[in-house]
Amino acid sequence: MISLKVAGRLLEIQRVLVRHGLDEFVTATHLYRPLRFLYFLQPSTWFARRRGASRGERLRLALEELGPIFIKFGQAVSTRRDLLPPDIADELAKLQDRVPPFPGEQARAAIERALGESVGAVFGSFETAPLAAASIAQVHTATLKDGREVIVKVLRPAMRTVIRRDLEVLYALARLALRYVPDASRLRPLEIVAEYDQTIMDELDLMREAANAAQLKRNFAGSPLLYVPEVHFELCRPDVLVMERIRGVQISDIARLRALGVDIRKLAENGVAIFFTQMLRHNFFHADMHPGNIFVLTEDPANPRYAAVDFGIVGTLDPRDLEYLAGNFLAFFDRDYRRVAELHVESGWVPPGTRVDELEAAVRTVCEPIFQKPLSEISFGVVLLRLFETARRFRMEVQPQLVLLQKTLLNIEGLGRELYPELDLWKTAQPLLRAWYRERMSPRTILKEARRHLPEFLETLRATPPLLRRLVREAEGRRALFPSETAEYRRLAAELRAGARRRDRTLIACTVLALGVLWLALGAEPVIFGVVVAAGAVAYLLVRR
C-alpha cells in the first residue's frame, strides 16, 4: 500500500515532468496513466510548460528540480556519450559540477555549527561564494592559518530528509514492480534499492568520505597513476569535510589538455589501469568517477596523472565474487564461452539446475557477432546489455553487490572513449587481469594466505579432539540404551574410538608439516630444523597410510 506521502511525491514527479514538456515520459509510465490527464487539463500546466528550451535542457532542468537522487541518475547517464544523443549528453554533463548552489551564508553558518567555532577562528581566509555545487553538497575554497589551500565541503540543508523521502518513493516503485511487472523478481528491485539506500546514506556522512579518501591515498602511495588529496581530519565532521585543494585541469576539458600537450592516449589507458588496479589489487574502488570528480595534473604532459575528489561512494567485493568476475573477464577475452557459463553456475548467479551447454550456446550467440568488429570498437556497455537480455531465459538474477562495479566500469569506458575514441579497453585491461590471476595462483601468494589463516587452522585443530571425544561418548551413551547390543555393535564402537585416535594423530602430523613448510618459506634459521620437521611429518603420514 502506497502511503499518502509517497503518492504525493509521485504526483509531484509527474507535475515536474509535464511542466518541463517531457510528456513522453509521463505517457510511457503506466503508473501515471490514470492521473496524467488531470495535469493536461489544468490551465496552470499549459502556461508553465517549457517548450522553448531544447529537450536536453528541459530534461536537465527537470532532474535538477526533482532533487539529488534524480541529479545523480543524470550524472551517471551523462558519462555514456556513446549511448546518448549529443544534445542530451551535453546538457546532462552540466549536472556533474554545475548544480545550482545554495546561499554561501547558509554554508558558513552550517560550518560554524559543525566546528563549534567561527570561520575566522579556524581558517586564514574563506570564500563565501561556492567554487562548485553538486547534488548533495557544495564546495568552498579557504586557506588554513599556515597558508595551505583547502576546500571545505558542506552538506546541503535538510539533505537527509530529502534523500529519505525519495528513497521511500523508490521502495514503493520497487514493490509495485514486483506486484505488477512480469519477470520483475529476477531483477531484484528491492535489493537494488536497498543497496542504493546504503550507498547514498553513507555518502551523506562526510567523516566516512574522509576515511575513504585516506584509504585510497594509502593504496596509491607512490603511484604515478593517481593522486589523492590530503584530508585534515581535525576539521572534519559528519556535515563538513576539509581537504587539500587540487589545482588541475578537469578531465572533460579536452581542448585545454590537448593545448598543454597531454598524451591523451596514455591518459585514457591510465584511467582503465586505475580502475582495474582498484578492483583487483586493492578491492576498494572509487565508485563515482564522473568527469566532475576527476582532474589531470599536467606538470609532465607526457606522463599525465589523475587526481580524484569526492570519495563519498566507494565499493568493495566479496573475494569470491571478485574471483568469479575476473574469471569471467578472462574467459570472455579468450572466447571461452563454456568457462563463462560454468562460472555463472558456480557463482550462483543462475539457478543451480541450469544446463551449462545451453548457457554456453546462448553466450556464444551473443558474443561471436560482437567479436567480428575490431576490439577498439566494442562497447563494454553494449556487451553487458546483450548478455543481460540473453540471461532472461535462464532466470539469471541481478547481483546487487555488483551494481556499483558495473556502473563504475561503464563510467570508465565512457570517459576513456570520450578522451580517446580509439581506446581498446580489452587490450589495456587484459594484461592487468592475467598478471593478477598469475599472482593469485603463485606459490608465494598461497603460502601468504596459509600464514594468514594459520591461527584459525590451529584454533580449529585445538577444538577438534574434544569434539571427537564428545561424539564418541555420545555414541557410547546411545549404546547403553540397548542392553542387548551385539558383538557387531561393540566392534563398530571400537573402530570409532580407534578412528578418532588416528584422526588426532594425523591432524597433529599435518600441523607439524605446515609449521615446517612455513619455517622454510619464511627463511628462518636454522634451515635444517624446517627440513627435519617437514620430512618427519611426511614420513609419519606415509607410514600411517
Nearest to 428 by CA among 197, 237, 270: 270
Phi-psi map region of 25: left, alpha, beta (phi>0 left; psi -120 to 50 alpha) = alpha
**Percentage helix, strand, coil for the chain under 3-state DSSP, each rounded to 5:** 65, 10, 25
CB neighbours (10 Å) of residue 81?
Answer: 18
CB 219 within 8 A of CB 282: yes
| Chain position carrying cell 490551465 | 43
What are residue 249's DSSP bridge partners?
A: 296
Angstrom CA distances, 118 to 76, 95, 96, 128, 131, stand at 37, 32, 31, 13, 20
Residue 237 DSSP class: B
Looking at this protein, which amino acid is placed at residue 510?
C
Angstrom CA distances, 504 to 23, 340, 497, 499, stand at 75, 42, 11, 9
d(CA 479, CA 460): 28
ω into residue 526 within 30 of 0, thus cis?
Answer: yes
Looking at this protein, which amino acid is placed at residue 234?
E
Angle of CA points 296, 297, 302, to nearest 5°: 95
Buried b (16+ CB within 10 A) or exposed e, 297-315: bbeebeebbbbbbbbbbbb
Angstrom CA distances, 145 to 79, 244, 329, 451, stand at 38, 14, 50, 48
**Angle between helical axes of 527-544 and 487-521 (0-180°, round to 10):** 160
Looking at this protein, which amino acid is placed at residue 527?
V
> Residue 208 is placed in which grid cell?
566516512
The single residue of 97, 239, 288, 321 carrying the catalytic annotation is 288
Angle of CA points 282, 285, 289, to nearest 5°: 150
Residue 155 DSSP class: E
Active site residue 23: no
Query: What are the catalytic residues?
Result: 288
